[in-house]
Structure 1
Amino acid sequence: MPLPSAPPPPRILHVSQPVDGGVARVVVDLATAQAAAGTDVHVACPQDGFLASALGALGIRVHPWGASRSPGPRLAAEVRDLKRVIGTAGPALVHAHSAKAGLAARLALRGGIPTVFQPHAWSFEAVGGPTALVARLWERRAARWATRIVCVSEAERVTGLRAGVVGSYTVVPNGVDTGRFTPDGVAPDGHDPAGGPLVVCVGRLCRQKGQDVLLRAWPAVAARVPGARLVLVGDGLDGERLREWAGPEVAFAGAAADAAPWYRAADVVVLPSRWEGMALAPLEAMACARPVVVTDVDGARESLPPAHRAHALVPPEDPEALARALVALLRDGELRAELGRRGRRHVLDHHDARCAAAAIDAVYGELLGTAPTGYRECTTT
């Protein structure tokens, strides 16, 4: 007598408005791991940018969703369009990433099917004044339409609770592809390995990432570390303004399809963010065995090995402290090498993308009443 066939895996629809940067990278890594493990994965997102092209190259079904970054007069049409996409895809669960997708998906579904919302840093941290108040009020109200809120750090969860966002939370730390971000590999085009000490900052050129604070800190670094160079990797709305402030020892590399060569070329990687959930760039840099300096915002402390924190954490909006931390590391090659080795081990043990995918799958299984998908061992040696 033939055995009954196993039921098909549940269909998951990821929804993302960001098509570049850290959120898009998380969606690609998560969808890739899920598809490899046998999950039926679909993604709704705008068609321009990295996200749709990367998913298409991997054979993952992409549903066009034309959404702008901020709420505005097109919101009602965007919600209707997403309802249409959801009807076409027929998912068992929707996983909405970041503020705009979280807004549109929860309005479209209103709890009709299991809905996971992943803020990737809360919307009310990105704005001020009355707009921040409106964003907090919305998140408090919309929490009832999120079956689960997934935060990438415990600090992000606490920030939500302090803002009055009450719901069912799970913390799943961000992970990175430790097979792609490794200490060994090619250097970026145009890099001169014989040049002076190199500091690299990878991220969108925008207020959140704090490159303006870094540029205010840099003259003190350059004065105390002769020949030191700074490269900003990324593009964004603040690019023109930042270029006006930068001195001759600062280079703008533009957006990079693969940031790993820049991490490997760096002596120190820096990310002076004003807010985060848990930034990917420091994890990617540590996976490449490079020391990091980051601001003490949500997720930063949790992403670092305990021994790094005295050397790597500085207050946000403090160019003097940022300069001191960079100078100390640039002057101490042995410390940089030791922090690099420990950072790589820490990411392998705690922030592999497969571990994050397995944890997310466990959330899906809990909400859908299905058995967890089999993932390969996520701790890498």
Structure 2
Amino acid sequence: MKVLHVNNVANVPVGLVEGLRKIGIDASLYQPYTGINTSGKLSKLKVVSNRIADVRALRSKIARERYDIVHIHYAFFGMLGVLGGYPYWLHCHGTDIRRNLYHPLFKTVTKISLDRAERVFYSTPDLKIHAEKARADAMFIPNPIRTELFEPRGFEGTGNKVLLISRIDKIKGIDVAFRALERVKKDNPELQIDALTWGPDLDRFKDCGFVNFIPKMTHEELARLIPNYRVVVGQFELGIMGMSEMESMACARPVVCHFEYQDWYTEAPPLALAKTEDEIVERVEELLEKPDLCEELGFAGREWVVKYHDYVAVAERLAKLYAGG
């Protein structure tokens, strides 16, 4: 079987492609043009021109390479398949249906992309209601975590380091996270709080003074970084775990975040649950004070991710669907 994944969203396709290769499937990843600079007439024309060229290039590649499955990521990118005239499977990841399915500018192309797809997948529990509204047969596929890359490496950090792993984005609940972490810092002046330099709301927080911002890094560098923190802080708005939270769990680090879907899995994920500012402060400070609890929660999280989100297991599940199972 020969499979092409299109558009790398949050490194999910990377994990799926690697997992499929592990089980003997000829899988590869194609990155289409994603430029969105529309300032000025010439820039707008360039975007349109590049997208048209990309549709043609991808269509030619698919015809030449004779793929059995074309698996496209991010809902409105399904238009590549619609315009290219080939069958495709469509994988939804978040804003692409949570917002775009109702957005005046994007809802039409999103709906067409979903309607024309052979199969539709969604990646987090909160997307079920949106995906099934458009496609009653939409199916949940767990996000693949590369558990051989994100693994416990031996805790080499000190007891006073916290990592905010979430993207600096309002939709991730970043405002309540920063308010809580500022209080934690005041209670623990020696504490080092780090965050990654990425996200649309970065400018609002980059000069806050109590957080050290680390330059954005590769996935491999991130896997080496995470194990050196006592506590990892995730997102608090949508009630879900993203790739970053689960990658941190795979590194056996305790994760503080808001998760609403405790019944989604046979076993609830072992998280330090929090939503409000007070709850976040309480959970982080409790973990800082109790190293044994950190290790217990961290290794339980690692076992849970391996059981429910290991990239090879997810790839095996996907391969059965590709084969008609």
TM-score tier after normalising by the smaller chain length: 0.7 to 0.9
Q: What is the SS of the residue equivalent to 2:323?
A: helix
Counting only pairs closer than 5 Å after superposition, residues 302-317 of structure 1 correspond to structure 2 as 302=264, 306=268, 308=270, 311-314=272-275
* Closer, same or farther: CA 107–270 of 1 in aligned 2, 3 Å: farther
Residue in 1 aligned with 2:41? none
| Alignment pair present for 1:94 and 2:70 | yes
| Alignment pair present for 1:121 and 2:94 | yes
**Post-superposition shift, 1:304?**
10
Residue in 2 aligned with 1:14? 5
Counting only pairs closer than 5 Å after superposition, residues 352-363 of structure 1 correspond to structure 2 as 352-363=310-321
Q: Distance in 1 between matches of 2:27 and 2:296?
A: 40
Cα deviation 1:350-379 (Å, max 9, x = unaligned): 221111111111111118xxxxxxxxxxxx
Q: Distance in 2 between matches of 1:135 and 1:231?
A: 36
Residue in 1 aligned with 2:194? 231
Residue in 1 aligned with 2:288? 330
Counterpart residue type for residue 335 of structure 1: L
Residue in 2 aligned with 1:67? 34
Unaligned runs of 5+ in 2: 39-43
**Post-superposition shift, 1:326?**
2.2
Q: Distance in 2 between matches of 1:278 and 1:365?
A: 29
* Closer, same or farther: CA 264–251 of 1 in aligned 2, 3 Å: same
Residue in 2 aligned with 1:142? 113
Q: Distance in 2 between matches of 1:117 and 1:294?
A: 29
Residue in 2 aligned with 1:292? 255
Q: Is the 8 A contact 1:15 1:105 kept in 2?
A: no
Q: Distance in 2 between matches of 1:183 and 1:138?
A: 43
Larger RCO (CA within 8 A; separation ≥ 6): 2
* Closer, same or farther: CA 261–38 of 1 in aligned 2, 3 Å: closer
TM-score normalised by structure 1 residue count: 0.71
**Post-superposition shift, 1:300?**
8.2
* Closer, same or farther: CA 275–77 of 1 in aligned 2, 3 Å: farther
Residue in 1 aligned with 2:162? 199
Q: Distance in 2 between matches of 1:208 and 1:236?
A: 10
Q: Distance in 1 between matches of 2:322 and 2:25?
A: 11
**Post-superposition shift, 1:255?**
1.4
Q: Distance in 2 between matches of 1:186 and 1:37?
A: 32
| Alignment pair present for 1:174 and 2:147 | no
Q: Distance in 2 between matches of 1:186 and 1:166?
A: 45
**Post-superposition shift, 1:237?**
4.3
Aligned-residue sequence identity (percent) comes to 24
Residue in 2 aligned with 1:344? 302
Q: Is the 8 A contact 1:121 1:276 kept in 2?
A: no
* Closer, same or farther: CA 275–139 of 1 in aligned 2, 3 Å: farther
Paired residues in the alignment total 314
Q: Distance in 2 between matches of 1:276 and 1:88?
A: 43
Q: What is the SS of the residue equivalent to 1:259?
A: helix
**Post-superposition shift, 1:231?**
0.6
Equivalent of 1:42, from 28, 50, 54? 28
Counterpart residue type for residue 194 of structure 2: V
Counting only pairs closer than 5 Å after superposition, residues 235-246 of structure 1 correspond to structure 2 as 235-244=198-207, 246=208
- Two-structure CA RMSD over aligned residues (Å): 3.2
Cα deviation 1:51-101 (Å, max 9, x = unaligned): xxxxxxxxxxxxxx3332589762545434433333333322110012453
**Post-superposition shift, 1:14?**
0.9
Unaligned runs of 5+ in 1: 1-9, 46-64, 188-192, 368-381
Equivalent of 2:61, from 71, 85, 88? 85
Q: Is the 8 A contact 1:201 1:233 kept in 2?
A: yes
TM-score normalised by structure 2 residue count: 0.82
**Post-superposition shift, 1:234?**
4.2
**Post-superposition shift, 1:147?**
1.1
